[in-house]
Structure 1
Amino acid sequence: MIFPSILQKTERSPKVRILIIEDDKSLAETLRFQLERSHFETDVCHDGEEGLHFIEQQSHDLILLDRMLPVLDGISVLKITREKNISTPIIFVTALGALNDKITGLDCGADDYLVKPFDFEELLARIRCILRRPPKWEGSRPLNLGDISYDTDQKKLCCKNLSCSLSAREGDLLEFFLRNPEQTIPRASLLAKVWGPDAEVEDGNLDNYIYFLRRRLKSVQSAVQLKTVRGIGYQLVLHP
């Protein structure tokens, strides 16, 4: 059971964003309330199809996923997410607590498995543990989108016969966009992921680096564009 009396503040930055996919609306709202009281930002979905849409279109730092969901079950949501190479950490939060259920969930790509009922302080501890882990990014494999290829080791952006070198910060920013292609990424998430959750960064600093990246893409004559989503953040998209 989740008890409001055990609310705790987390040391994580308020910029960390969590997606809750839970069909029990009362539980979903309780989780939202307690997580926001613990300085997280949240989005809530009540069925698997809506949840998958949020996963594909927006960027989150962590996902809390129920297994028994209407329209599309949690295992299917997880499998499709991993098939699309979206590596956002996922914690199953479910009443299915048999050993085989846990093994299935973890083998399908979940990062953790928490059985209902549970104490909120345990969920917070598991969230903190996962967020302390380094991103599950794979070595030096080039990242591709449309007509561009980016070498993360050499910090080299290529498009057809043209190429240019990026600064460390430009490279980190482009890498994050390429690992979340065509997703709307909030400004706060970009600052937290690229500069660090506790870094003191002026908001205009991000605007400067977005401008630099746009110039880099233009210099190699790429059709890929950094699109501004007003009031939210940015998307790296293929120009129609």
Structure 2
Amino acid sequence: MDKIKILLAEDEPSLGQIIKESLETRNFEVLLCVNGEEALEIYKNKHPLLLVLDVMMPKKDGFSLAKEIRKENPDIPIIFLTAKSQTEDVVKGFNLGGNDYLKKPFSMEELIVRMNSLLNRTKKNDNSTPISIGKFTFNLKKQTLEIEGTTENLTHREANLLYYLIKNKNQVLERSFILKKLWGDDDFFNARSMDVFITKLRKKLKLDPSIQIINVRGFGYKLIY
């Protein structure tokens, strides 16, 4: 069974190690960081499925980190760990996109139960359901486009780019957002690469003339159908 990759950001080394070792006996792969900046870098490069963030961390606190990550990824589950129990902190955590909140000290069993609950909820929304787009049927999980009995295979990046265009149907998908999300950086060379992928998607969708990917100059792309 594949291990479930999670990111744990905890600035107390002994506590972080205890949590890491406990989770690793329960089929989790734990990416342990000791500050918010390191956590953000690992999040961008390693693509964990769930985040466990200590609120009070050096360089970037858990709330600031969650706020930054939520701009790019509205779906990843986030659990905050904190020594604080004030109501305003709990409210702030949820307002910044936290899914759960655990006060120190806590039991490992409680943490694992909460993690599994969020992961199971995510699985139910795992994007495996085919999506109708004009005359096409798009399946993100299989990375396919089907039309009139013909199946077109997509690359991983093509499929994810199309998925975000569909999620933002009739709205502008910002270049910087999708570049950071799928390419990791919004520099010039990645932007040119994305333009090539958009051209490829247009060619694959041309069997249905009602579908268009419009270039909104200076902002991004808009899928209309």
- Structure 1 residue runs of 4 or more that deviate by more than 4 Å after TM superposition: 166-173, 176-180
1:220 aligns with 2:200: yes
C-alpha distance in 2 between matches for 1:51 and 1:172: 25
Residue in structure 2 matching 1:44, options 32, 41, 66: 32
Number of the residue aligned with 1:203: none
Matched, 1:76 2:61: no
Change (3 A) 1:105 1:30: same
| Offset, 1:85 | 3.0
Q: Kindly report which structure 2 residues correspond to 1:1-240, keeping only aligned pairs within 5 A, or say none.
A: 13-133=1-121, 134-135=124-125, 154-155=137-138, 165=145, 174-175=159-160, 180-182=181-183, 220=200
Secondary structure of residue in 1 paired with 2:27: coil
Tell me, yes or no, if the aligned pair for 1:57 and 1:182 is still in contact at 8 Å. Answer: no
Question: What SS class does the counterpart of residue 121 from structure 1 fall into?
Answer: helix
CA deviations on 1:11-41 (whole Å, 9 max, x unpaired) are: xx54211110010011111111000011111
- Could you tell me how far apart the structure 2 residues matched to 1:113 and 1:125 are? 13
Q: CA deviation at 1:88?
A: 1.5
If asked which structure has higher relative contact order (CA below 8 Å, sep 6+), I would say: 1
CA distance 1:121–1:36, change in 2 (3 Å) = same
Question: Structure 2-normalised TM-score?
Answer: 0.60
Distance change >3 Å, CA 71–CA 140, structure 1 → 2: farther
Deviations 1:153-184 (A, max 9, x none): 84299xxxxxx93559858883399675135x
Alignment size in residue pairs: 162
Aligned partners of 1:36, 1:169: CA distance in 2, in Å? Answer: 36
Please state how far the C-alpha of 1:136 moved relative to its aligned partner.
8.0
The CA deviation at 1:62 is 0.6
Cα 1:51–1:165, aligned 2, differ >3 Å: closer, same or farther?
A: same
Counterpart CA distance in 1 for 2:34 and 2:139 is 42
| Matched position secondary structure for 1:123 | helix
Segment of structure 1 superposing worse, 41-50 or 79-88: 79-88
> What CA deviation, in whole Å up to 9, does each residue of 1:93-122 have, x standing for no partner?
111111111111011101110010001100
Letter of the aligned partner of 1:155 in structure 2?
Answer: F
Q: CA RMSD in A?
A: 3.7
Further displaced range: 171-180 or 110-119: 171-180
**Bigger Rg over Cα:** 2
Shift of 1:53: 1.1
- AA aligned opposite 2:63: I
- The one-letter code matched in structure 2 to 1:130 is L
More helix by share: 2
Residues 64 and 93 of structure 1 are in contact (CA less than 8 Å); yes or no, is this contact kept in structure 2?
Answer: yes
* Alpha-carbon displacement from aligned partner over 1:64-86 (angstroms, at most 9, x marks no partner): 00010001111110101111235
Contact persistence 1:87–1:136 (CA under 8 A): no
Secondary structure of the structure 1 residue equivalent to 2:183: coil
The answer (yes or no) to whether the contact 1:20–1:64 under 8 Å persists in 2 is: yes
